[in-house]
Amino acid sequence: DVCQSIHVGDNHIKLPLILSYAATRIENCGGIHVSICGDAGTGKSHVAETVSKILPAGAVITGRYSNMALFYSSDLSSKKVIIMDDQSLAEEFSEIIKNSTTNWDVPYVHHTVVNQHGRKLLLPPRLVYWLIKASELGGDEQVMDRVIHTFCEDTLEQRTNVMKNIDAQAEDIEVNTDD
C-alpha cells in the first residue's frame, strides 16, 4: 500500500523486487534477481527507488559501478540489493554477476595483485541485483537467464493514473504565500 501511494501501477514489478530482498533472508533460496525494462519515462527507476525506500536502512546500494568496484566497496556486506540503473554490463561485470549468483551462499573470490603482492578480494554472499534499462538488457545470455524480466506499463490508462496521482499529491502540498 505504501509503494502504491508513491508509485502508481507496476505491481507486477514491485512484488518481485520485494521478494528479491526477502530471498536474501531465506536459507534455502538461491536468490531472486530482477531486470526492469521499458521505454523512457515509464517509471523504471522510480519503481525501484520506491520499493527500496520501504526496505531497511542500508539494505540497498546504488550508483554506477566500474567492473571491480564491488570487490573494493567498504559498505558492501551480504544480503544487500545492488541497483544498476541504466548501466551496460561489460563482459567482466557480467562474469562477476554470473559467478556471484551461481554459488549464492558463499563469497565470490577474486585473486589479484596489488602493489606487487597477491591479494584475495571477496564479494559477499547473498547479493541480489536489480538491473534497470530503457530497452531490453540484452548482453550476456547467462546473466539474463538468472533474472526475472519485468516491463513497465506504458498504456494510456497507466499514464492517466500517474497524472491523477501527481495531481492528488500536488493538492496535498501546502503552499506558503507569505514568503
Work out the pLDDT band at 133, boundaries 50, 70, 90: confident
Give the residue from 12, 11, 17, 13 showing the smallest Cα distance to 32.
17
Q: Residue 146 and residue 30: Cα distance in Å, rounded?
A: 10
175: pLDDT strictly greater than 70: no
The confidence score (pLDDT) of residue 110 equals 92
The string of DSSP codes covering 83-152 is EEES----HHHHHHHHHHHHTTTSPEEEEEEETTEEEEEEEPSS-EEEEEESS---S-HHHHTTEEEEE-
Q: Which pTM value belongs to this model? A: 0.83
Residue 14 three-state SS:
helix
Pairing mode, strands 108-114 and 117-123: antiparallel
Beta strand extents in 8-57 (DSSP E only) = 33-37
Q: How far apart are CA 161 and CA 165, in angstroms?
A: 6
Q: Which amino acid is at 178?
A: D
Listed residue (126, 140, 119) closest to 79, CA to CA: 126
Confirm if 155 and 6 have CB atoms less than 8 A apart: no
Please, what is the end-to-end C-alpha distance for the chain in angstroms?
35
Over the stretch 41-63, which tens digit does the pLDDT of each residue have? Answer: 778 888 899 899 989 999 999 98
